[in-house]
Structure formats: C-alpha cells, structure tokens
C-alpha cells in the first residue's frame, strides 16, 4: 500500500496540471480577444475621427470604451496566465521529484519466450 501513495499523488498532480493547462489556454484565447478588441477600437476611433459615421461622437465614445475594456481584460489575463504558468511549473517540478523518489526496479534482459 505504501507504493500506491506516490503514484496516487502523481496522478493527482497530473490532473491538476491538466486543469491548469486548460485554464492557461482559456487565458490565451481571452488575451487574443482583448488584442482584437483593442485593435478594433482603434480602427473604429480612427474611422469616427475621419467622419465615416453619421454619429461620430457615439462611435468615438464606443471605440474608446472598447479600447479601455480591451486593455483591462488584456492586463488581467496576462497576469492570470503568468500565475497559471508558474503553478504548472511548480506542479511539474513536484511531480518530477516524486517520480525521482520512487524506488524503481530494473528489468534485466531476459530471453523472449515464444508461445
């Protein structure tokens, strides 16, 4: 039963790493969306300043809100991604330590028996 404890803990760590990896991927998608929102906001603002819209003031205010919202979302998710990647690194190091501490047996070369 003592041998099962490290393997159970390793399995739990691997499940945690998978969850963290999914979280990191969500953050990357949100970061991409934030960058698109910022770029779109700047394009909309530029178009509003050139007078391409009949209601230029409304478009300008909307574009500024889009840029600011994108910046806030970008900053928040970049920091979340960094924290998640640090947690993944820590979990992987812990998993490597546990695997290194397992007393593995060597299997010597034995002749193969054919059926």
Give me the tens of pLDDT residue by residue for the chain, a chain 115 residues long.
455 677 889 999 999 999 999 999 999 999 999 999 999 999 988 888 887 777 778 888 989 999 999 999 999 999 999 999 999 999 999 999 988 888 777 777 666 676 6
Distance CA 62, CA 53 (A): 12
Tokens standing for residue 23: 């979280």
Q: What is the pTM of this model?
A: 0.75
């Amino acid at each position: 039963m003592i041998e099962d404890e490290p393997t159970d803990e390793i399995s739990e760590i691997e499940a945690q790493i998978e969850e963290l990896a999914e979280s990191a991927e969500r953050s990357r998608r949100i970061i991409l969306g934030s960058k698109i929102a910022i770029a779109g906001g700047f394009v909309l603002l530029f178009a509003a300043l050139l007078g391409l819209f009949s209601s230029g003031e409304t478009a300008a205010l909307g574009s500024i809100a889009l840029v600011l919202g994108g910046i806030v979302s970008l900053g928040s998710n970049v920091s979340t991604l960094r924290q998640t990647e640090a947690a993944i690194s820590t979990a992987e190091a812990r998993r490597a330590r546990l695997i290194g501490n397992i007393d593995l047996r060597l299997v010597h070369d034995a002749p193969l028996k054919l059926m």
